[in-house]
Amino acid sequence: MNPTPLGLRRGQQLQTLGATLLRLSLAFLLALFGTFKFFRFEADAIQPLVSHSPLVGWMYAVFSVRTASAIIGTVEVGAAIALFLAPWQPKLGVLGGLLATGTFLTTLSFLASTPGLLAAGNDGGGFILKDLVLLGAAVHVLGTSILAVRAPRPESAAIPMPAAR
């Protein structure tokens, strides 16, 4: 007797679907928030977070607020593109997973470096806390991509080479 009504095959299908949704959702959010970084409203909004950070605060000594924001946005959009392409290019999935993991570790560090971020009435702390879930998604995608790179490729999946003439 099967201990679950859904069965092993259905569980594997749901796990695959969940992993795909996790990767696509992560890529979408990185693309969305990364694109925002190219606009003044977002550059100004992240300035207090970035300026207090020992990891990325140095950027304002080298670049303007808008340029620093655009650089951050470029990293986020680049990670998103790599994650979208991961099923076809697993090595890009590894790169996207690394960039996303670094992004969310950096943003979560703002909780410790930005004064008053977790104070009552400050919505910024709650906004940053969502990155805990996104960090988990990034680490999952990174691990999945590493496994995909290391897995033997079935012959049927290989692109046939044209015959020599």
Residue type at 13 in one-letter notation: Q
What pTM, to 2 d.p., does this model score? 0.85
Question: Left (φ > 0), alpha (ψ -120 to 50) or beta: where does 155 sit?
Answer: alpha
Please compute the mean of the pLDDT values over residues 68-78 and round it to a whole number.
98
The model's pLDDT over 7-54, given as tens digits with 9 standing for 90+, comes to 889 999 999 999 999 999 999 999 999 999 999 999 999 999 999 999
